[in-house]
Amino acid sequence: MAHLITNCTFSASPAVKTFSGSPSYCCNVGKLQNSKSLNLSLKSSSKREKKSYVTCASAAVQGQTQTPLTGSQEASGHSSSKPKKVMVIGGDGYCGWATALHLSNKGYEVAIVDNLVRRLFDHQLGLDSLTPITSIQNRIRRWKSLTGKTIQLFIGDICDFDFLSEAFKSFEPDAAVHFGEQRSAPYSMIDRSRAVYTQHNNVIGTLNVLFAIKEYSEECHLVKLGTMGEYGTPNIDIEEGFITITHNGRTDTLPYPKQASSFYHLSKVHDSHNIAFTCKAWGIRATDLNQGVVYGVRTDETAMHEELSNRFDYDGVFGTALNRFCVQAAVGHPLTVYGKGGQTRGYLDIRDTVQCVELAIANPAKPGEFRVFNQFTEQFSVNDLAKLVTAAGAKLGLDVHTKSVPNPRVEAEEHYYNAKHTKLIELGLVPHLLSDSLLDSLLNFAVQYKDRVDNAQIMPSVSWKKMGAKPRTVSV
């Protein structure tokens, strides 16, 4: 078992203890698995060790400029000096890190919960972020030194309910933003063990979050990152979560039909069903953000210092389409269009991801309400993106070519696609639309770090039809 070294005192019991010294954030230490132990955990969840190691230090949040409140706080007359407490589960990841900083900067009291397994995936598969990213502890220390704001840190696995319970009881969140899932469709299709891991981690982790809210924080608003991939590509307009149907003379409003296209997307579908059920049964308040494909890397906060940089994936497993195309253009690799390239999806800037999450938190669902927002700003086909990157690259003197490669996925390559996305706009979303200047910025960013690109990781290596039965890993 690999040991995680932190600047705090360990205790073998799950009791919360305090420690002295810098940095002054809460560090709750559960298990961090190495390559061998992760592979074992993929085989059987029944072998999980239940013991958690938890240490904690309380610290006042400094430098607050706003004091957001929950609806229940406002109704009960709580002092406006008390900031709203938001737990960001998966706060070390691509969307989670940017969101945690954004919310902290806006005056929320933030805690990150993460088991750091995403970094382990990179080691196992021989991948690396285009941007150098420092440890989560260094990230939080740097944020504290620059802003005076404290982000608490709980390191552990949300599939371990004992650990998650201690985190909830210690932090007492008003809102829980749930990014803490294996988020890659290709990763879930590598082999049997990773398909099982994806479904177990995502579905059981979300169930644990729901039970933690029910048992320890009944008023907590769950903001869950879903995916537009739950809907598939139907030949009718995609509504926001629900559709009104008239059948045999009777009319009802029902959940929009789901047509998931990977074991990852299927896990998200089951999450949505579990969340909707617990809202009805237990009165939980929840917002399901069905997010499109995210691009970009910088927000106002991550741009403040190199140690706050977000990760930037360009490989065929974790990289998203536009980010991958920009890196390919920067290193002179043909843009890899899968099949006919007519696959159309919703896209949004990482800056809009954090804005959407903030809007959902500031306007919480009612008790027992299950809301679904389609979270994207524009729709593009893969061919559309390739043309945009080619034109933008030419302006920068890059010789950009496009290459059609066999589609590793099982999906329609030409289809109708029109998804509604009005609810977040109505709440005040001001989107950052894809423009020439933004593409120039993304391409320049990719050129800046092109020496870090591993060309061997650019082409797709995971096939939906040929997924393996045994795990393939890189020795660490």
| 267-326 per-position pLDDT tens digit | 999 999 999 999 999 999 999 999 999 999 999 999 999 999 999 999 999 999 999 999
Distance CA 194, CA 380 (A): 30
Q: Of all helices (H) and strands (E), which one includes residue 349?
A: strand 344-349
What are all long-range contacts of 78-86, with beta carbons under 8 Å and residues at least 24 apart?
Answer: 83/107, 83/108, 83/109, 84/108, 84/109, 84/174, 84/175, 84/361, 85/109, 85/110, 85/111, 85/171, 85/172, 85/173, 85/174, 85/175, 86/110, 86/111, 86/173, 86/174, 86/175, 86/176, 86/177, 86/361
Sequence letter at residue 263: F
Phi and psi torsions of 285, nearest 5°: -105, 130
Cβ-contact 221, 361 below 8 angstroms: yes
Phi and psi torsions of 404, nearest 5°: -85, 125
Can you tell me which residue has the tokens 């903030």?
Answer: 358
Q: Of all helices (H) and strands (E), which one includes residue 74?
A: helix 71-76
Q: pTM, whole model, 2 decimals?
A: 0.86
Cβ-contact 202, 250 below 8 angstroms: no
Q: Tell me if the bond preceding 460 is cis, omega within 30° of 0.
A: no
C-alpha angle 291/343/273, rounded to 5°? Answer: 40
- Residues near 343 by Cβ (< 8 Å), separated by ≥ 6? 233, 381, 382, 411, 412, 413, 415
Distance CA 411, CA 149 (A): 45
Q: How many CA atoms lie within 13 A of 311 on its CB side?
A: 22
DSSP state of 58: -
Q: Is the sign of the CA dihedral 297, 299, 301, 306 positive or negative?
A: positive
DSSP state of 107: T
Tokens, residue 355: 């804005």
| Three-state DSSP state, 3 | coil
- Smallest CA-to-CA distance from 341 within 294, 402, 398 is with 402
Can you tell me which residue has the tokens 């589609």?
Answer: 407
| Three-state DSSP state, 129 | coil
Residues labelled as active-site residues? 227, 264, 268
Distance CA 95, CA 320 (A): 12
- Residues near 375 by Cβ (< 8 Å), separated by ≥ 6? 228, 289, 290, 291, 292, 348, 352, 353, 356, 421, 424
Strand order in the sheet with 378-381: 293-295, 344-349, 378-381
Q: What count of other Cβ atoms lies within 10 Å of the Cβ of residue 38?
A: 19
Distance of CA 156 to the CA centre of its chain: 17
pLDDT tens for each residue of the chain, 476 residues long: 333 323 332 223 333 322 222 333 344 333 333 434 444 344 444 334 333 334 343 333 333 334 565 444 443 334 456 899 999 999 999 999 999 999 999 999 999 999 999 999 999 999 999 999 999 999 999 999 999 999 999 999 999 999 999 999 999 999 999 999 999 999 999 999 999 999 999 999 999 999 999 999 999 999 999 999 999 999 999 999 999 999 999 999 999 999 999 999 999 999 999 999 999 999 999 999 999 999 999 999 999 999 999 999 999 999 999 999 999 999 999 999 999 999 999 999 999 999 999 999 999 999 999 999 999 999 999 999 999 999 999 999 999 999 999 999 999 999 999 999 999 999 999 999 999 999 999 999 999 999 999 999 999 999 999 998 766 665 54
